[in-house]
Every structure is written in C-alpha cells, then in structure tokens.
C-alpha cells in the first residue's frame, strides 16, 4: 500500500509539472518569454505561483522544460553501452536518432516552437552557456566513470565537449533548415551525410576512446 501511495504521489507530481510546462510553453510561444510572468503561467496551469517554483527553480527553467530528457537518455546510453563500444559511437547514434526525428511532425513542431521561444529572448540566449556547462559536466562524469579514468585525466572532458558539440552543430543545422521551411526528408538526408562526415573526422582522434 505504501508503494502504491508513493507511486500515485509521484505520478501526480509529474502530471502537475507537465501541466505547468505545457502552459508556460503555450504562453511563451504566443507572447514571448520576456512578456510572460510566472504568475500568469500559474494561472494558466491552475496552480499557485508557489507550486510553479516547487517544480521549477527559475522562470528560465520553464522554457527549457523537457530538454533534460535527451541528455538523460544519452547519459544512460553512455553508462549502459556494451563492452568494447567507443563512446563516440553512442554520440553518433544519438545524433542519428535526432535526425530521424525531424521527419516526425510532432517532434519537428516542438523543435521549432522551442527555437522560436529561445530566439526571441536575450535572457534565454544568455542562459544557454550555463545550461551547456552543466551538460558537459554530467557527460564528462559519465564518460570518466565508464572509461576508468583517473581523477586528473582530462580526456573525459575533452571527449564530452568535442562529441557533444559535434552533436550540437548538427542540431543547429537541423533547426536552421526547419526555420527555412526546408523539406524534412531532404533536410534529414543532408544532415545524415554531414553528421557521418563530422563523426568520421572526430574519430581520427577519439574513435577508440572508452572502448
């Protein structure tokens, strides 16, 4: 019974968080991040302002809600990769999966919405480097743990920054193509070639790291 109660409580918390994030994104997309207050987000989600801050530490976190899921999947893939698999191949697969998602209408529309929100706010653009640094740290820690790296080994961080930035560059080109209304199938085809070329070049230095 205790486990069921705990499970129900967690589901309610996730549902509340998701409702807040959906309401915030809708308002940000319609009026711009800078023109929407947390009080308005709370009202749209039918919760109190305090409840919003119970789930999100800052207003900026509302704009990036859901963005942690791809990173968490990548971290899990790094940790759970089969023995002998270089870490580069995990990133390559992540990029390929992102490209495949461009042909799915829902994922394509979500990317365009979030890009529009961030692109319209200097506050959010200035927040991006902080977000990226957190991501680099998490990735470097996962790589270090699975590569049996020493504490003073700089290779895990080098690998994390190089490979995550390679992914981000392909992602950037994907966003640019979507905003230019490029045909999704043609865009994905071109990005697959560019992605393969980029990772093949990086592989000359990191191709076997973490295997």
What structural domains and CATH numbers belong to the chain?
2-57 (1.10.10.60), 68-206 (1.10.357)
Cβ neighbour number for residue 173 with a 10 Å cutoff:
16
What's the pLDDT at 111? Answer: 80
Cβ neighbour number for residue 179 with a 10 Å cutoff:
13
What's the pLDDT at 199? Answer: 95
What are all long-range contacts of 125-134, with beta carbons under 8 Å and residues at least 24 apart? 127/60, 127/64, 131/64, 131/67, 132/168
**Joined tokens for residue 65:** 């809600």
Cβ neighbour number for residue 11 with a 10 Å cutoff:
10
What's the pLDDT at 7? Answer: 79
Cα-flanking dihedrals φ and ψ of residue 190, to 5°?
Answer: -65, -40
Give the C-alpha distances (Å, rounded to integers) separating 207 from 2, 83, 154, 198.
48, 15, 17, 12
Give the C-alpha distances (Å, rounded to integers) separating 196 from 105, 175, 193.
24, 18, 5
The answer to whether 151 and 130 have CB atoms below 8 angstroms apart is no
| pLDDT per residue rounded down to tens, the chain (211 residues) | 555 666 788 888 889 999 999 999 999 999 999 999 999 999 999 999 999 999 999 999 999 887 788 899 999 999 999 989 999 999 999 999 999 888 877 777 788 888 889 888 999 999 888 888 999 999 999 999 988 888 889 999 999 999 999 999 999 899 888 888 889 899 999 999 999 999 999 999 888 877 7
Q: From the CA atom positions of the chain, what is the Rg in Å?
A: 19
Give the pTM: 0.81
What pLDDT, in 10s, does the model give residues 166-184?
999 999 899 888 888 889 8
What pLDDT, in 10s, does the model give residues 55-85?
999 999 999 887 788 899 999 999 999 989 9
């Amino acid at each position: 019974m205790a486990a069921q109660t705990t499970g129900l409580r967690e589901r309610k918390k996730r549902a509340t968080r998701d409702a807040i994030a959906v309401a915030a994104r809708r308002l940000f997309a319609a009026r711009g991040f800078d023109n929407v207050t947390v009080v308005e987000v709370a009202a749209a989600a039918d919760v109190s302002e305090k409840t919003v801050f119970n789930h999100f530490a800052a207003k900026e976190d509302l704009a990036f809600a859901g963005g942690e899921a791809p990173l968490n999947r990548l971290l899990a893939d790094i940790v759970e990769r089969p023995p002998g698999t270089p870490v580069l191949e995990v990133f390559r697969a992540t990029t390929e999966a992102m490209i495949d998602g461009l042909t799915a209408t829902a994922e394509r529309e979500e990317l365009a919405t979030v890009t529009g929100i961030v692109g319209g706010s200097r506050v959010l653009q200035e927040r991006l480097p902080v977000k990226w640094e957190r991501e680099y740290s998490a990735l470097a820690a996962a790589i270090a743990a699975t590569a049996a790296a020493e504490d003073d080994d700089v290779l895990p961080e080098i690998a994390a920054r190089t490979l995550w930035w390679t992914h981000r560059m392909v992602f950037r080109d994907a966003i640019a193509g979507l905003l230019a209304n490029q045909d999704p199938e043609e865009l994905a085809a071109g990005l697959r070639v560019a992605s393969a070329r980029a990772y093949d070049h990086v592989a000359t230095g990191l191709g076997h790291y973490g295997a």
